[in-house]
Amino acid sequence: MLATRQVALGQPTVGEEEIEALREVFASGWLSGAGPTCVAFEGELAAATGTAHALATSNCGSSLHLALQVLGAGPGDEVIVADYTFPATGHSVMWTGATPRFADVRPDIGTIDVDAAAALVNERTVGIIAVDMVGQPADYDELAALCRSRGLWLLEDAACSAGATYKGRPAGSLADLAAFSFHGRKGITAGEGGALVGDDATRMDLARKLHTYGIAPAVSREGSSALAVPSFDMAGYNYRMSDVQAAMMRVQLTRLPALVAARTAAAAGYAERLGDAEGITLPVVAENRTHPYQSYLVTTDDTVDRDAVVMALRERGVGSNFGTYASHVQPVYGTQDVCPVSARLFATQFALPMHANLVADDLDYVSEQLRDVLADPAVRR
């Protein structure tokens, strides 16, 4: 079928405010990482997430790695990871020399199943990484209770959950530390970038040192009355966000409530248009949560060929893709963990266009095309 229009799977919301913020940074002469604009953004992000400290980073993967480093994960340790997630979560565990153990997920919202996580705890386990699946927070009260009872730490992979809440608390404040992503497909974005947030000053100070090669950032030496020559006593990384990105993120953070509201309205629009469509299940929001809808994932039943639906939608100009990954089946991990719920979601979920720029005509077109595709015997088993 010849597409009559194009509806993007994802799309950032940027405009003159971001351009003006970039002009100010260009005029300042400080474009590199961990500068004054990053410092300003970090303060604003900490306030927005209800945490005491924030650290702007190069991406969410680097934030997760820093978190695991300061939490003490290393060779011989095991870290329990929510299985249904982009593999950066499991990769970050491997970067420390620890072993990821993959826990199955809830069938309704795709977040870590607390009982499945508890079943994996052993004498080598040091912590749990919960993933806010496409932005919807996991069961943090139950996870925190499990971690307290077994002497474990809890890390929130909040890559997709800027603007989400759990029982009135903002994403980022729900675990010992939390890692965000500002990739172009996320709810707020600078194209790339990330952040680590938390309340423990000792951990966050160490993370800041590690993220700048093992020394304090140069901005901390500005205005010194004597020549400040830093000394390297550890081998850190270059995990810094540039001040160019931070300028965009300061604006994006002010947009966050409106962006979440727009995406929530789009999700409601899909529910109204597709609620009775046969062969699919629409996403649900669990109790006491605000879902920021970084993605809108639909689940096919046994009568529908998910892959055929995605390809047919693309032919009609509707951006679509599979949901995310069942980590335990990825060859890189070589794990014996079994996660049947995650495996099923990996095989049956697909994403419809979701961003804050969608209008009613977009939702009409996407919904009409999906209904038409589902009625085609070619996508039925």
Domain assignment of residue 8, yes or no: no
- What values do phi and psi take at 89, rounded to 5? -65, -50
pLDDT, tens digit, 9 for 90 and up, residues 26-58: 999 999 988 999 999 999 999 999 999 999 999
**pLDDT value, residue 2:** 66
Domain assignment of residue 4, yes or no: no
Residues 274, 217 share a domain = no
| Residues pairing with 125 in the sheet | 78
Which portions of the chain are predicted below pLDDT 70? 1-2
Q: 90-96 — which CB contacts under 8 Å span 24+ positions?
A: 90/327, 90/330, 90/332, 90/333, 91/61, 91/332, 92/61, 92/64, 92/65, 92/67, 92/68, 92/129, 93/68, 93/129, 94/332, 94/333, 95/65, 95/68, 96/65, 96/68, 96/69
Residues 347, 310 share a domain = yes
At which residue do the structure tokens 């010849």 appear? 2
Domain assignment of residue 2, yes or no: no
Helix axes 243-274, 360-374, angle to 10 degrees: 60
The strands making up 125-131's β-sheet, listed across from edge to edge, are 53-57, 194-198, 177-181, 153-157, 125-131, 78-82, 99-103
Domain assignment of residue 23, yes or no: yes
**pLDDT value, residue 330:** 98
Q: How many CB atoms lie within 10 A of CB 8?
A: 14
Distance CA(342)–CA(81), nearest Å, equals: 12
pLDDT, tens digit, 9 for 90 and up, residues 49-88: 999 999 999 999 999 999 999 999 999 999 999 999 999 9
- What values do phi and psi take at 321, rounded to 5? -160, 170
Question: Total domain count for the chain?
Answer: 2
- Assigned token pair, 193: 């970038």
Residues 320, 264 share a domain = yes
Among 101, 106, 186, 291, the active-site one is 186
- Assigned token pair, 187: 């709810």
- Assigned token pair, 153: 């730490």
Distance CA(196)–CA(189), nearest Å, equals: 15
Residues 308, 227 share a domain = no
**pLDDT value, residue 217:** 84
Domain that holds residue 170: 16-253
Residues 262, 132 share a domain = no
Residues 303, 195 share a domain = no
Domain boundary (208, 232, 253) is at 253
Residue 272, domain CATH:
3.90.1150.10
Residues 152, 45 share a domain = yes
Residues 275, 180 share a domain = no
Residues 94, 148 share a domain = yes
Distances (CA, A) of 301 to 173, 192, 329: 35, 35, 21
The alpha-helical segments, DSSP class H, found in the chain are 16-28, 36-49, 60-71, 88-95, 114-120, 140-150, 201-210, 243-274, 306-315, 340-348, 360-374
Residues 218, 79 share a domain = yes
Distances (CA, A) of 83 to 169, 318, 338, 350: 24, 28, 10, 17
Q: Are 304 and 279 in contact (CB under 8 A)?
A: yes
**pLDDT value, residue 105:** 98
> CB neighbours of 282 closer than 8 A, spacing ≥ 6?
270, 271, 274, 275, 298
Q: Exposed (0-12), middle (13-18) or buried (19+): which is 346, by Cβ within 10 Å?
A: buried
Distances (CA, A) of 373 to 296, 315, 317, 357: 18, 11, 12, 24
- Assigned token pair, 306: 């998910």
Domain boundary (228, 253, 278) is at 253
Q: Of 103, 164, 108, 110, nearest to 129 (Cα)?
A: 103
Q: What is the pTM of this model?
A: 0.96
- Assigned token pair, 236: 């850190």
Residues 132, 67 share a domain = yes
Q: Is 186 a catalytic residue?
A: yes
- Rg value, the chain, Cα: 21
Domain boundary (201, 234, 253) is at 253
Residues 280, 244 share a domain = no
**pLDDT value, residue 1:** 65
Domain assignment of residue 196, yes or no: yes
Q: What angle do CA 263, 57, 251 make, to 5 degrees?
A: 45
Length in residues, the chain: 381
β pairing state of 53-57 and 194-198:
antiparallel
Q: Exposed (0-12), middle (13-18) or buried (19+): which is 243, by Cβ within 10 Å?
A: buried
